[in-house]
Amino acid sequence: MNFAMTCKLALAVCLASIGAAQQLSLKDGDTVVFYGDSITDQRLYTTFAETYLVTRFPTMHFTFVHSGWGGDKVSGGGGGPIDLRLRRDVIAYHPTVVTIMLGMNDGRSRPFDQGIFQEFASGYEKIVRDVKTALPEVRITAIQPSPFDDVTREPNFEGGYNAVLMRYAAFIKELANREHLAVADLNTPVVAMLQRARAQNAALSQKIIPDRVHPGPSGHLIMAAALLKAWNAPALVSDVEIDSRTGKATRSENAEVTGIANSNGLRWLERDRALPMPVDWKDETLTLAVRSSDFLAALNQEKLRVTGLSDGSYVLKIDAETVGTFGAAQLAGGINLAEWATPMAKQAADAHKLTLQHNNLHFARWRMVQVPLDGLGFLLTPAESSLDSLERQVILAQRIAVQPKPHLYELTRAQ
């Protein structure tokens, strides 16, 4: 083999490796159990992650179970000791993927203490060992704990509690390397976002994690983004470029473009193969968090470029609904439709409502029926109650709701 051929082969192998590294680490048919304390129990970063996955991969089938319990530590908590929690709330669902998010309570909101830390470390190791023993093929994502907000307010003691959590996070990363686990950092990107948000609007930034421990939706969305990036989630929704002079689609990645017509304005039919992640732009705190992070660039790119337009401003409508007015140069450079109110975003938001509904049903069955009955000696296993049946119906509706639809795009010169 000559030198040129060797270089080409090496390049091909390198590109293949890059492509493999960028492939979503979740698989079709995966069952994901989110396990953790009250921050997981909020069912926000988990439901955001779920909605992203079902809207971005509408032909794949995932199952999501949310098993967070407020106050939990590595030893368990209000839902029972750790052995019971794992058996009833994780292993019973036969997951292929388990996420573990603990630490906020384990550090006990005080300066670093080696003895307390050792309890956390040994307890976390036991959780990983027990889950692996019960589920030999499981893929675990160890989540480094989300931050205590020492950014928008002064620390409670020298160094601050988040510095303690970062030491716990370092242990989790070391354990993940040792045990061949995936690891997701839900601390560093949120802290960076808080710093940028505080610089823009100090008062509003304090609402991102209102009590310094439990984030609101704005903080959870950035946490979900960190988890999704750890799973190699793609930024792309779709990428379309249309040459108005030739009336042809010069690019249509993850989308189908047909019926281009250039009379009385530019029109075309477009069916993207995915939906954007819905963002409530009316929520000023959430908007601040998104604009202070890389969320859009990293996970929500629904690109549209239209070239060859004469100078001036143009109104973009989708299904007769006005999206916005854009200059010819702006359209030629490309706009990200995920930043705008579109029928696709509305469809994704409706799907998110179904995500929340099925999780509420699971919560009701688990926390209000199963656990109290367990305490009285009655055994209720997953998929046996009418609430489980209703949840399955809602999940089916969710899967139907995320299927992409064709939309009519119209671009006309602004009057």
pLDDT 10s digits, 100-146? 999 999 999 999 999 999 999 999 999 999 999 999 999 999 999 99
Section 306-328 average pLDDT: 97
- How far from 158 is each of 108, 154, 167, 206, 209, CA to CA, in Å? 15, 10, 15, 20, 20
Distance CA 299, CA 234 (A): 6
Instruction: Kindly write down the DSSP assignment for every residue of 280-341, as one continuous string.
Output: -TT-HHHHHHHHTSSHHHHH-EEEEEEESPPSSEEEEEETTEEEEEEEHHHHHH-EEGGGS-
pLDDT tops 70 at residue 384: no
Q: Which residues pair with 83 in a beta bridge?
A: none
In the structure, what pLDDT confidence band is assigned to residue 382 with cuts at 50, 70 and 90? low
In the structure, what pLDDT confidence band is assigned to residue 373 with cuts at 50, 70 and 90? confident
Name the 3-class secondary structure at 123: helix
pLDDT at res. 22: 59
Query: Which of the pair, 9 or 384, is modelled with greater confidence?
Result: 384
pLDDT at res. 383: 60
In the structure, what pLDDT confidence band is assigned to residue 380 with cuts at 50, 70 and 90? low
DSSP state of 261: E
Q: Which residues pair with 239 in a beta bridge?
A: 253, 303
pLDDT at res. 9: 38
Lowest-pLDDT range of 4-8, 80-84, 119-123, 386-390: 4-8
Section 60-66 average pLDDT: 97
| CATH 3.40.50.1110 residue window(s) in the chain | 28-231
- Are the C-beta atoms of residues 82 and 75 closer than 8 Å to each other? yes
Distance CA 10, CA 273 (A): 33
pLDDT at res. 6: 37
- How far from 298 is each of 104, 147, 178, 238, 273, CA to CA, in Å? 27, 21, 28, 13, 18
pLDDT at res. 17: 33
**Percent of the chain having pLDDT more than 90?**
89
pLDDT at res. 415: 84
pLDDT tops 70 at residue 333: yes
Q: State pLDDT tens for residues 205-217.
A: 999 999 999 999 9
Average pLDDT, the chain: 93
Q: State pLDDT tens for residues 275-289.
A: 999 999 999 999 999
Q: Which amino acid is at 131?
A: V
For the chain, state the CA radius of gyration.
24
pLDDT tops 60 at residue 330: yes
Q: Is 28 left (phi over 0), alpha (psi -120 to 50) or beta?
A: beta
pLDDT at res. 122: 98
What share of residues in the chain are helix, strand, coil (percent, to 5)?
45, 20, 35
Name the 3-class secondary structure at 264: coil
> Which CATH number among 3.40.50.1110, 3.50.50.60, 3.20.20.140, 3.40.50.2300 corresponds to the domain 28-231?
3.40.50.1110
Q: State pLDDT tens for residues 163-185.
A: 999 999 999 999 999 999 999 99
Burial 51-63 (b: 16+ CB within 10 A, else e): bbbbbbbbeeebb
Lowest-pLDDT range of 153-167, 258-272, 324-338, 381-395: 381-395
Q: pTM to 2 decimals?
A: 0.92
pLDDT at res. 375: 73
Section 303-326 average pLDDT: 97
pLDDT at res. 7: 39
pLDDT at res. 5: 40
Which residue, 162, 98, 159, is CA-closest to 124? 98
Name the residue with tokens 């509904």.
Answer: 357
pLDDT tops 60 at residue 21: no
- How far from 182 is each of 93, 152, 162, 240, CA to CA, in Å? 20, 30, 22, 33
